[in-house]
């Protein structure tokens, strides 16, 4: 037993007990005191260091809880067998920790025809900021505690009302589940629907949903589309028991599924026990001619449609709020299997959206955005029609992108590459075919316009024209 000469520094930011703890630990690790040796008693050591006994006790407790020393009742503290620990750590020292690669650096484009481009220049940020601040002041404590795992009641009610009025979706608040994004809700759904599923998707397909299904482990069947959407005759020939469709505006094709095809699809669903249709209604809000076609969910009388909606387009992507409308008979099983998950959307974001809707900002903003996007839509449509190199335009009057079939000798990839060199980002249709090969003879491109202004649209199309016609 020997005392420890620790040069204590009472002026340090480090507490005294921690200084003692570190000194003893280092002495053990360096072999200055060895296994089995007895430590000085706390009283003795405290006298030696001229500090209070409780300070030494605290240091010993820390050493005890980290396993450097052991306590033997009525006898005192002894150094643990740390040589064994060394033996364990030896081989670990040898292996080198690899440094992960740096994140890929994004290239800057002058004009990016991304179909995900959006325009937030008119968004009521100040109003939303004020809502958030007031919520924090008035309801902060309530908001920061855990809430309803399926989403707050008032928000679910507001979603219910909105969906009924604008999409003819018929449901009770109990059927709604609020979650952080479509992919998360898709994953939850898979936990309820079980592992042994097979999904049919429209081809070309919405890739985020496809990748999510792949990660979940569901085999995906590509079902070709005609001008009315997924071909139900081909769907029927597959083994799929889930059909993931976007009837109001298919991504990427922009196809709107007419009533008859919808009924055929519903008919497919009721032909066999356990079949479901997942209706992804992601951007039905943006339709520039006529009124949006009511959702499939509202036509379903047999509880076979699972409706998936999002505020990503109707408010903004980074709100990260989506919602699921479950058929009534799935509500109970969903609660049993997924009821223990806390809601993935923060309480403050849920209430912000609720107030945003309740105070009329949501509708006003949506109407304004529809106007802004319609103007851009009409402009790019007119411009594309003037381009001699555009053979056919698809997907008009809805959403935030159009498709154009281009008359060119270049391959899709070659044109994308040539555009990239000139600072223009183009998106080919091929990648949306799971085979990687487009069914169209000529290259087809997605022209997103949501995030672009007139100059960018006109300039971008001109540049492409120069490349395609070989005049640049």
Q: Which is nearest to 419 in space by CA: 383, 464, 454?
A: 464
Chosen residue from 348, 366, 410, 458 binding a second copy by CB under 8 A: 348
The three-state (H, E, C) secondary structure of 177-243, written as one string? EEECCHHHHHHHHHHHHCCCCCEEEEECCCHHHHHHHHHHCCCEEEEEEECCEECHHHHHHCCCCEE
Q: Mention every residue, 6+ apart, whose C-beta is less than 8 A from residue 443.
A: 405, 406, 408, 410, 411, 412, 415, 428, 429, 430
Residues that bind a second copy (rule: CB under 8 A) add up to a total of 118
Residues 73, 75, 97, 471: which binds a second copy (CB under 8 A)? 97
For residue 105, state whether it binds a second copy (rule: CB under 8 A). no
Contact 76, 36 (CB under 8 A): no
Q: Which stretch binds a second copy (CB under 8 A): 36-44, 183-191, 431-439, 456-464?
A: 183-191
Identified binder of a second copy from the candidate list 19, 55, 175, 365, rule CB under 8 A: 175
Mask: binding to a second copy, 306-325, rule CB under 8 A, as x and -?
A: ---------xxxxxxx----
For residues 188 to 227, the per-residue mask of contacts with a second copy, x marking binding by CB under 8 A and - elsewhere, is ---x---x-----------xx--xx--xxx----------
Closest separation in Å from C-beta 174 to a second copy: 4
- Give the N- to C-terminal CA distance of the chain in Å, as an integer: 88
Backbone angles phi, psi at 325, to 5 degrees: -110, 115
Report the nearest approach of a second copy to the CB of residue 117 (Å).
9
Q: Which of 422, 435, 405, 401 is nearest to 467 (CA)?
A: 422
Which position has the token pair 């006109």?
458
Rounded to an integer, what distance in angstroms lies between the CA atom of residue 181 and that of residue 309? 9
Cβ atoms of 177 and 332 within 8 Å: the answer is no
Q: Which is nearer to a second copy, 78 or 389 (CB)?
A: 78
Q: Tell whether residue 377 is a contact of a second copy (CB under 8 A).
A: no
Helix (H, G, I), strand (E, B) or coil at 314: helix
Q: Report the candidate in 262, 252, 261 with the shortest Cα–Cα distance to residue 283.
A: 252
Residue 395 is given by DSSP the state S
Q: Tell which positions 138-157 bind a second copy, by CB under 8 A.
A: 140-141, 143-148
Among 343, 403, 429, 467, binds a second copy (CB under 8 A): 343
Residue choice 41, 71, 116, 238 for contact with a second copy (CB under 8 A): 116
* Binding string, residues 261-300; x marks residues near a second copy by CB under 8 A: xxxx-xx--x------------------xxx-x-----xx
C-beta closer to a second copy: residue 50 or 65 = 65
Q: Does 52 bind a second copy (CB under 8 A)?
A: no
Q: Which residue in the set 50, 105, 107, 342 belongs to the binding site for a second copy (CB under 8 A)?
A: 342
Residue whose CB is less far from a second copy, 187 or 458: 187
Q: Is 101 in the site for a second copy (CB under 8 A)?
A: yes
Nearest distance in Å: CB 414, a second copy: 25
259 is a contact residue toward a second copy (CB under 8 A) = yes
């Amino acid at each position: 037993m020997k005392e420890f000469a620790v040069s204590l520094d009472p002026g340090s930011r480090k507490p005294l007990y921690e200084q003692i703890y570190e000194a003893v630990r280092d002495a053990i690790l360096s072999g200055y005191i060895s296994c089995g040796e007895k430590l000085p008693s706390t009283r003795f050591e405290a006298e030696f260091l001229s500090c209070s006994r409780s300070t030494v006790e605290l240091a010993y407790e820390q050493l005890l809880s980290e396993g450097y020393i052991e306590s033997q009742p009525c006898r005192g503290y002894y150094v643990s067998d740390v040589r064994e620990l060394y033996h364990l750590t030896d081989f670990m020292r040898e292996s080198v920790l690899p440094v992960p690669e740096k994140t890929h650096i994004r290239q800057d484009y002058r004009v990016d025809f991304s179909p995900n481009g959006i325009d937030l220049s008119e968004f009521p940020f100040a109003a939303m900021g004020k809502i958030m601040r007031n919520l924090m002041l008035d309801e902060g404590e309530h908001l920061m505690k855990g809430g309803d795992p399926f989403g707050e009641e008032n928000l679910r009610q507001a979603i219910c009302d909105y969906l009924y009025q604008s999409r003819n979706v018929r449901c009770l608040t109990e059927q709604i589940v609020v979650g952080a994004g479509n992919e998360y809700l898709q994953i939850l759904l898979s936990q309820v629907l079980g592992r042994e599923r097979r999904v049919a998707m429209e081809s070309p397909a919405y890739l985020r949903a496809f990748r999510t299904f792949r990660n979940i482990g569901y085999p995906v069947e590509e079902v070709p589309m005609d001008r009315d959407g997924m071909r139900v005759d081909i769907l029927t020939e597959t083994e799929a028991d889930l059909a993931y469709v976007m009837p109001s505006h298919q991504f990427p094709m922009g196809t709107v599924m007419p009533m008859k095809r919808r009924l055929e699809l519903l008919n497919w669903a009721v032909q066999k026990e356990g079949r479901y249709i997942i209706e992804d209604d992601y951007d039905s809000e943006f339709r520039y001619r006529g009124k949006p076609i009511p959702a499939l969910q509202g036509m379903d009388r047999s509880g076979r449609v699972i409706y998936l909606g999002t505020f990503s387009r109707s408010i903004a992507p980074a709100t990260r709020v989506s919602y699921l409308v479950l058929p009534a008979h799935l509500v109970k099983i969903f609660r049993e299997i997924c009821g223990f998950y806390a809601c993935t959307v923060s309480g403050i974001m849920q209430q912000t959206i609720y107030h945003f809707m309740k105070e009329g900002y949501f509708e006003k903003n949506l109407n304004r955005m529809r106007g802004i996007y319609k103007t851009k839509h009409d402009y790019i449509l007119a411009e594309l029609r003037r381009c001699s190199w555009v053979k056919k335009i698809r997907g008009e009057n809805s959403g935030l992108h159009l498709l154009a079939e281009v008359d060119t000798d270049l391959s899709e990839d070659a044109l994308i590459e040539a555009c990239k060199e000139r600072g223009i980002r183009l998106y080919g249709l091929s990648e949306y075919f799971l085979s990687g090969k487009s069914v169209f003879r000529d290259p087809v491109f997605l022209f997103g316009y949501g995030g672009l202004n007139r100059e960018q649209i006109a300039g971008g199309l001109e540049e492409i024209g120069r490349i395609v016609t070989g005049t640049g």
